[in-house]
């Protein structure tokens, strides 16, 4: 702790020669103003993007049945904290060319910076694992995974991330003001090799590997199901003797699973694209640069670019999730339409298309059931249905012996139930082969 505090006190101000060999030309008034403008734009964009993600997730029905939105909330909150706390401090230190606060706030800022990075990536990993389980084990998932369990997972993510981020405060790892292109308090990689290695493995490589595994498995499942459905479609069209127009029966392609893959791949991909250059850059500096001025051989613009790209993850990650989720994107368009009148034609077209689609699918369903009813009526044992209805009616009369009233409504109801039950069983056998009726969502 004393070592960290002394290091902080020795590095309050910018040391131009300690930044990069060409940093003096980038620390003019114009250059600093441009950097502040870029950081301010990023602050606004990331704050708005994280807030919008929280809003559309709360209004959307996507992933609400399995309460996966809990993980999305955690991801959004971590990005929002980074936008509201870390970026403003970075802007103020850039403007003053020094650390304008005390050493306590420096350690707090470094702790929050590490915390939000870990929680964001692990929350995204929780989304990936949760979506993979729903696809790979659709029947066991609802029974084994509960909302309370997901809440405990999020609590565990934040506690684990907080413990890992607190290690430098207790002496494992060194926190100091970094007078670099983006001047913030952070971890000194060269003087914290062991902690940096643990942070790299547990905080980056492990969750990224889990996300990649989930994406790979989801893609394999989608391909396998698509292949099976195509083969069943060919078998049905060649062997079926049912006089039903094949265009009225649609094969249920696993599009939802493919959309989940796109969402996870985009979110993880944006995280990797933003942070891998920064991590590689820091590792290269710690491993190769041996000068007493650690960044002496590094161009200033290169360091600023990789640092700014890492900070931009707070904006790119929420936007990527919104764009790849159709329901989130629809809610965003409605929000923009209500506030600013944007996407009016798109919303009206989607409504008209939705209405026409509903009418079209309703007609298709009616035609299919009309044809199926005509076919199935030839195979229904009417005597069995009548005996079943009579048995049910007599049982009901025995139970209501006090009233001694016949119930014609009961007979009609039982008859309708029997007919519907037969049709459902027949349709269920078709749907189990891979076919689905238009407008009927199968999971």
Residue range 221-243: average pLDDT?
Answer: 63
Q: Specify if 192 maps to a domain.
A: yes
Tokens representing 43? 């602050």
Query: Quick one: pLDDT at residue 126?
Result: 92
Lowest-confidence segment of 77-91, 115-129, 299-313 by average pLDDT? 299-313
Give the Cβ contact number of residue 142 at 10 Å.
12
Q: Specify if 441 maps to a domain.
A: no
Question: Over pLDDT 70: what percentage of the chain?
Answer: 59
| Cβ atoms 327, 285 nearer than 8 A | no
Judged against a pLDDT cut of 50, whether residue 438 lies above it is answered with no
User: In a 10 Å sphere around its CB, with 0-12 CB exposed, 13-18 middle and 19+ buried, how is residue 59 labelled?
Assistant: middle
My answer on whether 338 and 283 are in the same domain is yes
Q: Specify if 302 maps to a domain.
A: yes
Domain end among 291, 311, 342: 342
pLDDT level of residue 403 (50, 70, 90 thresholds): very low
For residue 193, give the H/E element and its range. Answer: helix 193-200
Torsion angle, alpha carbons of 217, 218, 221, 225, to 10: -170
My answer on whether 126 and 271 are in the same domain is yes
Q: Specify if 125 maps to a domain.
A: yes
pLDDT level of residue 244 (50, 70, 90 thresholds): very low
| CATH number where 173 lies | 1.20.1070.10
Domain that holds residue 370: 350-436
My answer on whether 214 and 360 are in the same domain is no
pTM above the 0.85 mark? no
pLDDT in tens, 320-337: 888 888 888 888 788 777
Q: Specify if 316 maps to a domain.
A: yes
Q: Specify if 35 maps to a domain.
A: yes
Could you please report the per-residue DSSP string of 52-102? HHHHHHHH--TTTTTTTHHHHHHHHHHHHHIIIIIHHHHHHHHHHTB--S-
Q: Domain count for the chain, please give it.
A: 2
Query: Quick one: pLDDT at residue 368?
Result: 62
Judged against a pLDDT cut of 60, whether residue 249 lies above it is answered with no
| Cβ atoms 110, 174 nearer than 8 A | no
Lowest-confidence segment of 43-47, 54-58, 350-354 by average pLDDT? 350-354
Q: Which residue has the tokens 């060409």?
A: 22
My answer on whether 292 and 397 are in the same domain is no
My answer on whether 261 and 403 are in the same domain is no
pLDDT in tens, 29-40: 777 888 889 999
Q: Which residue has the tokens 């006190």?
A: 9
Domain end among 342, 367, 401: 342
Query: Quick one: pLDDT at residue 304?
Result: 83
My answer on whether 299 and 419 are in the same domain is no
Lowest-confidence segment of 61-65, 159-163, 173-177, 201-205 by average pLDDT? 61-65
Cα gap 254→16, rounded to integer Å? 57
My answer on whether 338 and 354 are in the same domain is no
Q: Which residues of 107-135 are buried (b: 16+ CB within 10 A; e: fewer)?
A: bbbbbbbbbbbbbbbbbbbbbbbbbbbbb
My answer on whether 268 and 411 are in the same domain is no
My answer on whether 244 and 365 are in the same domain is no
Q: Specify if 91 maps to a domain.
A: yes
In 232-304, DSSP assigns E strands to 250-251
My answer on whether 228 and 98 are in the same domain is yes
My answer on whether 283 and 362 are in the same domain is no
Domain end among 323, 342, 361: 342
My answer on whether 249 and 333 are in the same domain is yes
């Amino acid at each position: 702790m004393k070592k960290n505090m002394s290091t902080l006190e020795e590095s309050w101000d910018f040391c131009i020669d300690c930044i990069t060999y060409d940093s003096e030309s980038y620390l003019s008034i114009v250059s600093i103003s441009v950097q502040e403008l870029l950081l301010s734009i990023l602050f606004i964009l990331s704050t708005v993007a994280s807030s919008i993600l929280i809003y559309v997730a709360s209004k959307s029905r996507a992933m609400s049945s399995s309460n996966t939105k809990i993980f999305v909330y955690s991801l959004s909150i971590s990005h929002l904290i980074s936008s509201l706390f870390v970026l403003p401090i970075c802007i103020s230190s850039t403007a003053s060319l020094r650390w304008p606060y005390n050493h306590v706030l420096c350690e707090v800022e470094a702790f929050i910076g590490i915390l939000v990075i870990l929680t964001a990536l692990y929350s995204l990993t929780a989304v990936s694992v949760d979506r993979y389980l729903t696809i790979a084990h659709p029947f066991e998932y609802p029974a084994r995974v509960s909302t309370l369990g997901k809440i405990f997972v999020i609590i565990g993510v934040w506690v684990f991330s907080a413990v890992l981020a607190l290690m430098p405060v207790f002496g494992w790892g060194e926190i100091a003001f970094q007078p670099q292109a983006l001047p913030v308090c952070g971890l000194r990689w060269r003087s914290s090799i062991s902690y940096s290695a643990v942070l790299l493995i547990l905080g980056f490589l492990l969750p990224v590997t889990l996300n990649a595994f989930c994406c790979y498995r989801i893609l394999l499942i989608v391909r396998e199901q698509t292949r099976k459905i195509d083969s069943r479609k060919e078998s049905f069209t060649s062997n079926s003797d049912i006089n039903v127009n094949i265009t009225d029966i649609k094969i249920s392609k696993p599009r939802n699973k493919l959309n989940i893959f796109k969402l996870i791949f985009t979110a993880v991909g944006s995280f990797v694209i933003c942070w891998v250059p920064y991590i590689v850059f820091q590792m290269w500096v710690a491993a190769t640069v041996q000068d007493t001025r650690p960044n002496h051989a590094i161009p200033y613009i290169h360091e600023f670019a990789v640092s700014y790209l890492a900070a931009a993850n707070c904006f790119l990650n929420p936007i990527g999730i919104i764009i790849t989720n159709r329901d989130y994107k629809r809610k965003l368009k409605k929000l923009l339409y209500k506030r600013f009148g944007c996407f009016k034609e798109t919303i009206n077209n989607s409504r008209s298309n939705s209405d026409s689609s509903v009418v079209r699918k309703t007609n298709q369903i009616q035609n299919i059931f009309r044809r199926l009813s005509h076919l199935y009526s030839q195979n229904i044992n009417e005597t069995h249905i009548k005996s079943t209805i009579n048995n049910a009616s007599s049982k009901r009369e025995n139970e209501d012996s006090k009233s001694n009233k016949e119930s014609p409504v009961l007979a009609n109801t039982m008859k309708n139930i029997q007919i519907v039950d037969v049709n459902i069983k027949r349709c269920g056998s078709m749907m189990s082969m891979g076919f689905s009726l238009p407008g009927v969502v199968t999971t």
